């Protein structure tokens, strides 16, 4: 279990850590910002003092024209510096964000399979996409102003020191007050932002479920209730967003009060200095102008700091994800062989799902020779598909071992091991690309002729001939433009095309009619003369020709034999299941139902 706890009150350091690899860019941008501060604020403010104390009393037109052109030059240079600064900020933000997204995505690829059962896809999408975007928004739009505000306050403080030390002391006191205020307001905003982001993930996940399950909600007649459910979650999200907004508005009130206090204090002290220390009117106006600008910079700095605090929860979520321990199967390098022969040995395997005490498999042992066609049958929940998951190293055995070609699968390189197996599952997963894109998932280098042959072997020739775009036909979101049987046959074609030495058919014909099912089985046998074939099925009619049938019940093997041998055991589990299926088949014919999928 992940017990990682994100560091507290270190949001600023964590943001800076992302910029460390790009410190040269940051240094260059800081230099650009410093120049911009001189041209945008310092020169115009000092020019005011020159105008009041020197130019106006002397009535010198030359100096007045010089002042005007100086201000024009400063404005142009400020614009140039601003453009350069924008480039540095956006380039850095894009680079950092893309790196973070890729980092999170790669980490997701090596997490244990159980992690995906305990976390929603909407939550994962938010962590990989939305959370890094929060960092991007800060770096691209507010990182520059943050640096500008810090540099500006420092520069203006030294100018105030040059005008009079008391004004410098005043600026330091105001800085301390600002630091305390920003931490107080920032902490409240961070809590509100964390809650809002959590609810946003829930809302995103519910929207995804609603959109992808639109067919189910309509055929079940619960569209109105679906809308009500989404609206309820949305309302909760909106409520937390409003709380976040209130926290931010409270900060605005604090900022406005701070600005008024700072300006009033400086004018009060400047007036006292004019009366007692010979401070000129121009210097007082310059000091007031600098403090006004500094107060605005403080205001921006506080807003930026609040943004850093709002970025904190997004970084927390990313760090929690990155702290998840990767699966050893996904990260450990193992032995890579040539093409496997297809021998499989399951030796005394016991297994329980993570977090569960009850064993799903208990002391299961069997052997499959290379080229054999072996079926795993039994009631639902007997552990058939679990064996397949263990074979693919999606989970780790509790006790015992599984061997492929005489070597423990934990010693094989996981990527190589999986490349030696092709699988067709009941729940077909298709991407929203073309037929060719989906066929090439397991074998990207396959030629068009090989794709066509795989379609033919899986019974999709007629479909291919009717499609105007052929293999370039779009299949829709998750294959929504195909029927259930077509999707399953496409999955079978993908497995045939992979040409792996081990073929696993996990309820691969559940969406097919009996005639097509027979043709598909024949095609698999033709294409798999050198393949080890493992069939998992509830429909016992699909396993009659298996070389060996392994019957499981309650996670243990209760019978092994051929179809004929198992039927001879009249009191056996297989004989009982087969008799029940045959009886239901007779009733199906009598009632006129053409298709029946029987699940025990």
Q: Could you tell me if residue 49 is inside a domain?
A: yes
How does strand 344-351 pair with strand 399-404?
A: antiparallel
The per-residue pLDDT string of the chain (600 residues; one tens digit each, 9 = 90 and over) reads 566 666 665 777 888 888 888 888 888 888 888 888 788 777 777 777 777 777 767 777 777 788 778 888 888 888 888 888 888 888 888 899 999 989 998 898 888 888 887 887 777 877 888 888 888 888 887 777 777 777 777 777 777 777 767 767 777 777 777 767 766 666 667 677 777 777 777 777 777 667 666 655 665 666 677 777 778 888 887 888 787 777 767 766 766 676 667 767 766 776 776 666 666 667 666 766 676 676 677 767 767 777 777 787 788 888 888 888 888 878 788 899 889 999 999 999 999 988 888 899 999 999 999 999 999 998 888 889 899 999 999 998 989 999 999 999 999 999 899 999 998 888 888 888 888 888 888 888 889 998 898 888 888 888 888 888 888 888 887 777 888 778 888 888 888 888 899 999 887 666 566 666 666 666 666 554 578 999 988 777 778 888 999 999 999 999 999 988 888 877 788 888 888 776 665 554 444 444 433 333
- Quick one: 99 and 163 in the same domain? yes
Q: What is the DSSP letter of 324?
A: S
What is the domain range of residue 341? 334-412+538-600
Q: Name the phi and psi angles at 319, rounded to 5.
A: -65, -40
Nearest 5 degrees, angle CA 535-CA 537-CA 539? 130
- Quick one: 57 and 178 in the same domain? yes
How many other CB atoms are found less than 10 A from the CB of residue 575?
Answer: 16
Q: Which residues contact 14 (CB under 8 A, 6 or more apart)?
A: 7, 312, 315
From residue 152, alpha-carbon distances to 35, 145, 218 in Å are 10, 10, 60
Q: Could you tell me if residue 350 is inside a domain?
A: yes
Give CA–CA dist 217/485, Å, rounded.
22
- Quick one: 79 and 128 in the same domain? yes
Look at phi and psi of residue 507 and say left if phi exceeds 0, alpha if psi is from -120 to 50, else beta. left
- Quick one: 145 and 228 in the same domain? yes
At 532, which helix (H) or strand (E)? strand 532-536
- Quick one: 284 and 184 in the same domain? yes
Q: Which of 282, 308, 326 is the last residue of a domain?
A: 326
* DSSP E strand boundaries for 344-449: 344-351, 361-368, 373-377, 399-404, 407-408, 421-425
Q: Name the phi and psi angles at 433, rounded to 5.
A: -115, -145
At 556, which helix (H) or strand (E)? strand 556-561
Q: Which of 326, 354, 381 is the last residue of a domain?
A: 326
The CATH number given to whatever domain includes residue 56 is 1.20.1560.10
Give CA–CA dist 16/12, Å, rounded.
6
Give CA–CA dist 437/476, Å, rounded.
12
| pLDDT attached to residue 278 | 63
504 contacts 424 by C-beta, under 8 angstroms: yes
- Quick one: 236 and 351 in the same domain? no
Give CA–CA dist 375/549, Å, rounded.
5
**Residues counted in the chain:** 600
- Quick one: 189 and 287 in the same domain? yes
Nearest 5 degrees, angle CA 208-CA 210-CA 211? 65
Q: Which of 272, 296, 326 is the last residue of a domain?
A: 326
3-state secondary structure of 9: coil
With b for 16 or more beta-carbon neighbours within 10 A and e for fewer, the 549-560 pattern comes to: bbbbbebbbebe
Helix axes 165-212, 223-277, angle to 10 degrees: 170
Tokens 């051929």 map to which residue? 562
Give CA–CA dist 178/368, Å, rounded.
74
Helix axes 484-498, 448-457, angle to 10 degrees: 130
| pLDDT attached to residue 589 | 43
Tell whether the torsion through CA atoms of 266, 272, 277 and 280 is positive or negative.
positive
| pLDDT attached to residue 519 | 60
Q: Could you tell me if residue 148 is inside a domain?
A: yes
- Quick one: 183 and 75 in the same domain? yes
With b for 16 or more beta-carbon neighbours within 10 A and e for fewer, the 217-249 pattern comes to: beeeeeeeebeeebeebeeebeebbebbeebbe
| pLDDT attached to residue 398 | 87
Q: Could you tell me if residue 528 is inside a domain?
A: no
What are the structure tokens assigned to 520, written together? 């598909």
3-state helix vs strand vs coil in the chain, percent to 5: 65, 10, 25
Q: Name the phi and psi angles at 532, rounded to 5.
A: -85, 125
Q: Could you tell me if residue 512 is inside a domain?
A: no
Q: Name the phi and psi angles at 54, rounded to 5.
A: -120, -55
DSSP code per residue over 442-483: S-TT--HHHHHHHHHHTT-HHHHHH-TTGGG-B--GGGTTS-
Instruction: State how many domains the chain has.
Output: 2
Give CA–CA dist 247/392, Å, rounded.
50
- Quick one: 271 and 344 in the same domain? no
Q: Quote the distance between the C-alpha of residue 264 and its chain's center.
A: 50
Tell whether the torsion through CA atoms of 113, 118, 124 and 127 is positive or negative.
negative
How many other CB atoms are found less than 10 A from the CB of residue 345?
Answer: 18
Q: Could you tell me if residue 135 is inside a domain?
A: yes
76 contacts 118 by C-beta, under 8 angstroms: no
| pLDDT attached to residue 387 | 94
| pLDDT attached to residue 412 | 92
Give CA–CA dist 2/5, Å, rounded.
9
Nearest 5 degrees, angle CA 40-CA 43-CA 48? 115
What are the structure tokens assigned to 25, written together? 């860019």
Is 390 exposed, middle or buried, given 0-12, 13-18 or 19+ CB atoms closer than 10 A?
A: buried
How does strand 502-506 pair with strand 532-536?
A: parallel
| pLDDT attached to residue 406 | 92
The CATH number given to whatever domain includes residue 391 is 3.40.50.300
Which among 118, 84, 156 is positioned nearest to 354, based on CA atoms? 118
From residue 177, alpha-carbon distances to 114, 169, 186 in Å are 50, 13, 14
Q: Could you tell me if residue 497 is inside a domain?
A: no
- Quick one: 295 and 389 in the same domain? no
Q: Could you tell me if residue 255 is inside a domain?
A: yes
177 contacts 258 by C-beta, under 8 angstroms: yes
- Quick one: 25 and 166 in the same domain? yes
Which among 424, 395, 402 is positioned nearest to 537, based on CA atoms? 424
Q: Encode 238-289 in three state secondary structure.
A: HHHHHHHHHHHHHHHHHHHHHHHHHHHHHHHHHHHHHHHHCCCHHHHHHHHH
- Quick one: 308 and 346 in the same domain? no
Give CA–CA dist 394/387, Å, rounded.
10
What are the structure tokens assigned to 418, written together? 């999986």
């Amino acid at each position: 279990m992940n017990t990682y706890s994100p560091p507290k009150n270190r949001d600023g350091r964590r943001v800076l850590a992302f910029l460390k690899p790009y410190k040269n860019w940051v240094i260059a941008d800081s230099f650009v910002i410093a120049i911009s501060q001189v041209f945008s604020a310092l020169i115009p403010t000092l020019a005011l003092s020159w105008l009041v104390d020197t130019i106006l009393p002397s009535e010198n037109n030359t100096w007045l024209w010089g002042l005007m052109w100086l201000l024009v030059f400063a404005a142009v240079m400020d614009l140039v510096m601003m453009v350069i600064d924008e480039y540095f900020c956006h380039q850095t933000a894009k680079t950092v964000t893309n790196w973070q997204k890729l980092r999170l995505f790669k980490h997701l690829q090596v997490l244990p399979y159980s992690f995906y059962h305990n976390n929603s896809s909407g939550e994962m999408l938010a962590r990989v996409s939305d959370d890094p975007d929060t960092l991007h928004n800060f770096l691209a739009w507010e990182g520059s102003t943050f640096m500008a505000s810090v540099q500006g306050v420092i520069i203006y403080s030294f100018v105030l020191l040059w005008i009079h030390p008391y004004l410098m002391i005043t600026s330091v006191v105001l800085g301390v007050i600002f630091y305390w205020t920003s931490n107080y307001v920032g902490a409240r905003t961070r809590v509100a932002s964390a809650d809002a982001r959590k609810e946003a993930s829930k809302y995103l996940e519910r929207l995804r479920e609603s959109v992808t399950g639109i067919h189910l909600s309509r055929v079940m007649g619960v569209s109105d209730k679906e809308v009500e459910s989404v609206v309820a979650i949305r309302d909760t999200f909106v409520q937390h967003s409003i709380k976040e907004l209130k926290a931010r508005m409270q900060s605005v009130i604090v900022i406005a009060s701070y600005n008024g206090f700072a300006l009033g204090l400086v004018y009060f002290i400047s007036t006292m200095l004019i009366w007692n220390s010979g401070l000129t009117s121009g210097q007082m106006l310059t000091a007031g102008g600098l403090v006004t600008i500094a107060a605005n910079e403080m205001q921006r700095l506080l807003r930026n700091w609040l943004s850093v605090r709002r970025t904190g929860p997004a970084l927390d979520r990313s760090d929690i994800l990155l702290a998840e321990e990767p699966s050893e199967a996904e990260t450990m390098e193992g032995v890579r062989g040539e093409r496997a022969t297809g021998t499989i040995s399951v030796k005394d395997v016991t297994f329980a799902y993570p977090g569960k005490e009850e064993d799903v498999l208990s002391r299961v042992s069997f052997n499959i020779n290379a080229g054999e066609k072996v079926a795993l049958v039994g009631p639902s929940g007997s552990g058939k598909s679990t064996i397949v998951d263990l074979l693919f190293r999606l989970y780790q055995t509790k006790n015992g071992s599984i061997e492929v070609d005489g070597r423990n699968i934990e010693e094989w390189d996981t990527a190589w091991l999986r490349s030696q197996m092709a699988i067709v599952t009941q729940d077909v997963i298709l991407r929203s690309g073309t037929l060719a894109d989906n066929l090439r998932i397991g074998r990207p280098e396959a030629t068009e002729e090989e794709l066509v042959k795989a379609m033919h072997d899986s019974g999709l020739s007629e479909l291919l001939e009717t499609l105007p775009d052929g293999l370039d036909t779009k299949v829709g979101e998750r294959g929504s433009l195909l029927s259930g049987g077509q999707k399953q046959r496409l999955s079978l074609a993908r497995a045939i095309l992979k040409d792996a030495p081990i073929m696993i058919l996990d309820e691969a014909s559940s969406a097919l009619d009996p005639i097509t099912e027979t043709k598909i089985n024949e095609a698999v046998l033709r294409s798999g003369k050198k393949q080890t074939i493992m069939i998992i099925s509830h429909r016992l009619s699909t396993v009659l020709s298996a070389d060996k049938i392994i019957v499981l019940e309650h996670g243990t093997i209760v019978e092994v034999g051929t179809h004929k041998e198992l039927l001879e055991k009249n009191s056996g589990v297989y004989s009982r299941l087969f008799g029940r299926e045959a009886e239901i088949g007779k009733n199906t014919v009598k009632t006129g139902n053409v298709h029946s999928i029987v699940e025990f």
